[in-house]
Amino acid sequence: MQDFAYHAPPTVAEAIALFAADPEGSRYLAGGTDLFLALEHGSSAVRSVIDLKAIPGLDGIAVQPDGGHRLGALLPMDDLMRDRAIRTNYRALAESAEVVGGPPIRNRATLGGNLCNASPAADTAVPLVAFMAMAVLSSASGGRAIPVVRLWEAPGRTVLRPGELMTAIELPPPLPASASTFERLTRSAMDIALLSASAVISLNDDGTCRLVTLALGAVAPTVISIPEAGEVLRDTNCDDAALARVVKAVIETVRPIDDIRASAEYRREMAGVLAKRALARAYAIAIEPAGITR
Ligand SMILES: Cc1cc2nc3c(=O)[nH]c(=O)nc-3n(C[C@H](O)[C@H](O)[C@H](O)COP(=O)(O)OP(=O)(O)OC[C@H]3O[C@@H](n4cnc5c(N)ncnc54)[C@H](O)[C@@H]3O)c2cc1C
């Protein structure tokens, strides 16, 4: 590993100032589960590592006045998957955090790091896109919030400006009569996702779908959403004919790669299977407590 200076600033402003002193040679450090691998194998010269963990207040979960939830970017996966409010209101997100690596990884790996690493297979990124979450960013010139789905340009590349720091992820208030699911396909439990899908469904009083979102991971250079799912399933009972139309849209949209873990063709077919599974399960969970018979 290369030699570098290590800093642990106590505030966001100081972290940003340290980064600005050497934008080319600086990296933010959260849990380090991706960064240290990159430093071991990377070719770019890193001279300064800025540890964000000493900054207070970046690792909590806060309920917002509108009922939404604000998650600190430094929130470890283990805390996220155990939080009762998240498990109840944003179940797919808890399910995704639960499968990130093994227990030692989940103790260190953070939500912000999972997003900023910009892998199209990042597990928590998929439900965050389905929930239409916002990423809160801070820089010397101020702050901004952007939809999580617009965070990435390519594998390993975000839209963050040099030195911009992610401080939080904001989830909108939970929808009424709703449910969410996360589905993942892997070769082994400890492997990253071959494919993943997340669905959020909110129902009308008569049991038809009011709002549906669907996001897919590892099927394109970035995590993507499938807007056709909402258009096709609105006011339906999520029946087989409607789901078949969504599957067709998924298969036509995805752009998976061939690699040693699976062929593009297999991934394309399975994207449809996983999307259908995520949607059907979300619908089944949403309709059950409502006591609506079809
Ligand atoms: C054995 C193993 C198994 C794994 N399994 C999975 C898995 O199943 N699913 C999965 O999704 N991932 C997996 N990962 C990848 C990794 O654990 C996650 O991506 C993790 O969430 C990264 O978070 P971190 O806090 O460790 O990030 P770090 O490694 O600290 O940072 C990652 C990148 O994001 C940047 N960064 C971090 N935080 C911020 C911030 N707040 N603002 C701006 N930039 C920031 C860093 O500069 C760096 O470029 C695995 C990794 C290992 C080593």
3-state secondary structure 111-164: HHHHHHCCCCCCCCHHHHHHCCCEEEEEECCEEEEEEHHHCEEECCEECCCCCC
Ligand 1 pocket, 48 CB below 6 A?
Answer: no
Q: How far apart are CA 104 and CA 33, in angstroms?
A: 10
Could you tell me the pLDDT band of residue 43, with boundaries at 50, 70 and 90? low
Residues 181-188, mean pLDDT to the nearest whole number: 91
Residues 204 and 262 in one domain: yes
For residue range 162-177, list pLDDT tens digits in order. Answer: 999 999 999 999 999 9
144 and 226 inside one domain: no
DSSP letter for 292, please.
-
* Domain membership flag for residue 133: yes
Which CATH number do you get for residue 25? 3.30.43
77 within domain boundaries:
yes
How far, in Å, from the CA of 124 to the mean position of ligand 1?
Answer: 11
**pTM of the entire structure?**
0.96
Distance (angstroms) between ligand 1 centre and the Cα of 176 equals 32
Could you tell me if residue 237 is inside a domain? yes
Residue 133 CA to ligand 1 center (angstroms) comes to 19
Comparison of pLDDT for 227 and 44, the residue scoring more:
227
Q: Which of 14, 30, 51 is the last residue of a domain?
A: 51
3 vs 58, more confident: 58
58 lines ligand 1 (CB under 6 A): no
Please, what sign has the CA dihedral across residues 141, 54, 62, 69?
Answer: positive
CA of 103 to the centre of ligand 1 (A): 14
For residue 32 and ligand 1, the question of a CB distance below 6 A is answered with yes
What's the angle, vertex CA 185, arms to CA 136 and CA 72, rounded to 5?
20
Domain match, 77 and 164 both: yes
Model confidence pLDDT, tens digit, residues 52-104: 999 999 999 999 999 999 999 999 999 999 999 999 999 999 999 999 999 99
Predicted confidence (pLDDT) at residue 293 exceeds the cutoff of 60:
no
Same domain, 266 and 197: yes
The Cβ of residue 284 has, within 10 Å, a number of other Cβ atoms equal to 13
Instruction: Please work out whether the CB of residue 26 comes within 6 Å of at least one atom of ligand 1.
Output: no
Domain shared by 193 and 236, yes or no: yes
CATH of the domain at 126: 3.30.465.10
* 4, 16, 34, best to mutate for ligand 1 pocket (most atoms within 8 Å of CB): 34
**Residue identifier of the C-alpha nearest atom 51 of ligand 1:** 33
Q: Which of 248, 238, 217, 223 is nearest to 284 (CA)?
A: 238
Task: Evaluate whether residue 10 is within a structural domain.
Answer: yes
Mutate to test the pocket of ligand 1, among 18, 96, 105, 151 (most ligand atoms within 8 A of CB): 105
Query: How many of the other CB atoms lie within 10 Å of CB of 89?
Result: 21
CB proximity list for 3: less than 8 A, separation 6 or greater:
none
Question: Are 96 and 182 within one domain?
Answer: no
Whether the CB of 117 sits within 6 Å of ligand 1: yes
- Pair 76, 127 in one domain: yes
* Domain CATH for 271: 3.30.390.50
Q: Which domain holds residue 204?
A: 178-288
CA dist 203 → 94, 234, 237, 289 (Å): 21, 9, 9, 11
The count of structural domains within the chain is 3
Structure tokens at 172: 């909108």
For ligand 1, whether the C-beta of 33 sits within 6 Å is yes
Q: Helix or strand or coil: residue 98?
A: helix
In a shared domain, residues 195 and 229: yes
Residues 130 and 194 in one domain: no
- On whether both 195 and 263 belong to a single domain, the answer is yes
DSSP category for residue 110: B
